[in-house]
Chain A
């Protein structure tokens, strides 16, 4: 029995008929066509699927699409505005905060939340803030540098 949902994604409103059991991540990737958010575990452990739901970072692999009816979503694709990268995107690039890139979209969304809560985080606060997002490539150090660089830039 499909259900109608109405969602604002990256500033654009849309309505879709979805199966009640359709996971939010599959809705975003397969129905909406926003494949920037990834699936790394389907158990909310790795954070590759992290998106922003009404301003809060959530793991979209353990939510149903029907749960976001009437909500605002922001995904990695929505971080570029007027052709300009978000300071975090720019900082991840400058600081080599990514290698294979698979965790990166979720990681950047999680870091955005971190900087909104703690605009000038210490190294420890950064490491704590991204505990829910796994990266197997970087050893996290360049991610720490990237968050610090973005924080400095956003503070200006």
Chain B
């Protein structure tokens, strides 16, 4: 399987830099996000939240709030005790699952825990009234760091489980003891992947509307998973699923934070049914930081074993996962993804991993861009660099030595995965070429002579994407598509994926237009409304194009068969080919257009034997495997001795996401992904104090990258098609994030290595680096 270095158009549209069809509504301010929805008689909700991380609720007095003109209702925990719980979709042996009520009952477990909801005619009145709700708390000791929570005598987050341990999980592959016994060198390191706040620019929001005559509820929510949300919400509210409609309007970013089912979604459904009026709740940024899931939250203890020639023999990991106070939809499953990706891109077959999932008095962690895989990649890529340093090997050389070769694919990993296809040297060699690596090392040597702290950092990352085969996922890993052609010959694609910025309204139209031989303008792609679209899974885990795309492709293949049959009737020929939007008789060359075929199929004067009228096919595609994108990033940095500030001199990202449907959009995904990885490496950190107060609770204190903090990103691609799906695509949404953080940390460690620095934990804030410099490199 040859790796192609330049993206090439494989169709009229597929492979081309087509500008997005989503954009006209977005650049003109005419798109409809949740907060743009207005309903007659709509009320507004404001949620009263706990100011304490752990407390007993001794009483709630809502009289003053209820007396305020405009206030329609106040609901507290006892009103909703029978609803819910907020669901956890992950299952692990022995998992302890706290009952997660949609409003706190007699106790709160994290700062921001919802305690009551106030409903008023106006959003200002609702907020005023929320301040008037008196809650009598008895504060309890809290614990907000996972290793502290595991220490003897730590406050119990949930009194029923005093050890704060939600689960333990063990996995091993090969013979790790033998590998370590035979090792000539062993390197150990504790590595932190800090808690991060996803920070979609649009916070969460819900509008709920009850139609009493139909006993039907409509919930508009900013979500990545409309259908799963409908199924789970129906269960939480005790509604038959067919009387619940979920509409996901325009969504202002998710990054995993909206791959969830939240208390507020059920709460608004409850309120709408109770007051008989539509109700809107829009999360404030403060609430978003306090109450929407966080990501990462690892303390990892690694040991890597190798031979003196750099051959890696095995890897051990003890992973301490900060879960927060509850399990949200996938919380406990996320660290198991880290274990799956432990070996990275390397050939060694011996691993051992132990996870401890720890309750803390913090908001739950869950899937944030990469979800377990950035942590794993950061770990293996740091360990490989430390091993290279120990052996005085070049970091590129040690990686090249340990990659499986293209003819070894499908490659079975120590963690039970089967890597679909790969040529891991190709992106690394391309990236080294782009930076002119030998010259760059020369430059670095000269810089060091001048006393400058210049570093070069590599990461060669892999990821497991396109979730995924159903047996490996909590809720079905297929995706669906309906393709229908109306009587005038225009095409509508309904996808079960739920794009929210990724651009599938464009890429799926490219696929459909090429396959059907019609213009891009003749195709529209709809998604997100459970009353319009067949059941689907959603958009997350770099899956929309790699699982949703093939569903569109296969639906069209079935549709083409039908088109040919109707075409054959019209042409009165047994041998007809559908090509370039026309049915052509193979014998006499006569043809009919798709519009003529479509009209005939609905007019239905004659039907092909065994066929129904109309042109519409629904296809549910079950992928046979995950896909495994990969790539190589190189960061060139310089550390300012005076301030500890890190400057990024160059950043090169060469990604291999298989075939590329739209290179413009792929570049956008890589840029945005790298920005979030840089955010983790250099700036971002959710900070709780010892009492469980979130100190980084606003955008003033939580530093997502601004334009001036980002370097120019140089991107490149190699293309190794995936054999898993007919499009050969692998997915690219998370690649940049996964590749970036180790490249940057490796680079800064390399810059400081003359001082004896061998590891730095993220974020690499100037203060931390400055202190290292003051201490001569000794932490």
Co-complex (A, B): yes
Chain A residues near B (Cβ < 8 Å): 19, 21-22, 26, 29-30, 34-43, 45-46, 48, 75-77, 79-80, 85, 89, 92-94, 96, 98-105, 108, 123-124, 126-128, 130-131, 133-144
A137: nearest residue on chain B (CB-CB)?
B672
Which residues of B684-715 are within 8 A (CB) of A?
698-700, 704-708, 710, 712-713
Asked whether, in the complex, the Cβ of B706 is within 8 Å of the Cβ of A131, the reply is yes
The 10 closest A-B pairs by CB, nearest first: A36-B29, A102-B252, A101-B26, A100-B501, A139-B675, A139-B671, A76-B29, A99-B501, A35-B36, A45-B699
User: Chain B contact residues (Cβ within 8 angstroms of A): what range?
Assistant: 35 or more
Asked whether, in the complex, the Cβ of A45 is within 8 Å of the Cβ of B501, the reply is no
Taking the closest CB of chain A, its distance from the CB of B612, in whole angstroms, is 39
17 intermolecular pairs with C-beta atoms under 8 Å apart? A36-B29, A37-B29, A38-B252, A40-B203, A42-B284, A48-B201, A76-B27, A76-B29, A77-B30, A80-B28, A89-B28, A96-B667, A133-B707, A138-B672, A139-B672, A139-B673, A142-B671
How long is the Cα–Cα vector from A42 to B36 in the complex, in angstroms?
Answer: 16
List the B side residues contacting A138 at CB < 8 Å. Answer: 668, 671-672, 675
List the A side residues contacting B704 at CB < 8 Å. Answer: 134, 136
List the B side residues contacting A22 at CB < 8 Å. Answer: 124
Asked whether, in the complex, the Cβ of A139 is within 8 Å of the Cβ of B712, the reply is no
| Of listed A98, A123, A138, A141, residue having the most chain B CB within 10 A | A141
Q: A43-B698, A98-B26, A139-B675 are in contact. Are A123 and B710 (CB under 8 A)?
A: no
Asked whether, in the complex, the Cβ of A139 is within 8 Å of the Cβ of B29, the reply is no
Q: Which of B17-25, B163-171, B295-303 contacts its partner?
A: B17-25
Excluding A26-B123, A77-B29, 8 further A-B contacts by CB distance (< 8 Å) are: A19-B124, A36-B29, A38-B35, A89-B28, A93-B24, A134-B699, A136-B199, A139-B674
Asked whether, in the complex, the Cβ of B201 is within 8 Å of the Cβ of A100, the reply is yes
Which residues of B431-489 are within 8 A (CB) of A?
none
List the B side residues contacting A143 at CB < 8 Å. Answer: 707
How long is the Cα–Cα vector from A38 to B698 in the complex, in angstroms?
Answer: 17
How long is the Cα–Cα vector from A96 to B38 in the complex, in angstroms?
Answer: 30
List the A side residues contacting B502 at CB < 8 Å. Answer: 99
A41: nearest residue on chain B (CB-CB)?
B285
Q: Say which residue of A34, A79, A92 sits within 8 Å of B23 (CB atoms).
A: A92
Asked whether, in the complex, the Cβ of B200 is within 8 Å of the Cβ of A139, the reply is no
Taking the closest CB of chain A, its distance from the CB of B237, in whole angstroms, is 28
List the B side residues contacting A103 at CB < 8 Å. Answer: 201, 252
Asked whether, in the complex, the Cβ of B710 is within 8 Å of the Cβ of A127, the reply is yes
How long is the Cα–Cα vector from A90 to B502 in the complex, in angstroms?
Answer: 19
Asked whether, in the complex, the Cβ of B707 is within 8 Å of the Cβ of A136, the reply is no
Asked whether, in the complex, the Cβ of B35 is within 8 Å of the Cβ of A39, the reply is yes
Asked whether, in the complex, the Cβ of A75 is within 8 Å of the Cβ of B253, the reply is no
| Of listed B24, B31, B665, residue having the most chain A CB within 10 A | B31
Taking the closest CB of chain A, its distance from the CB of B525, in whole angstroms, is 16
Q: A43-B698, A43-B700, A85-B28 are in contact. Are A131 and B285 (CB under 8 A)?
A: no
How long is the Cα–Cα vector from A75 to B28 in the complex, in angstroms?
Answer: 10
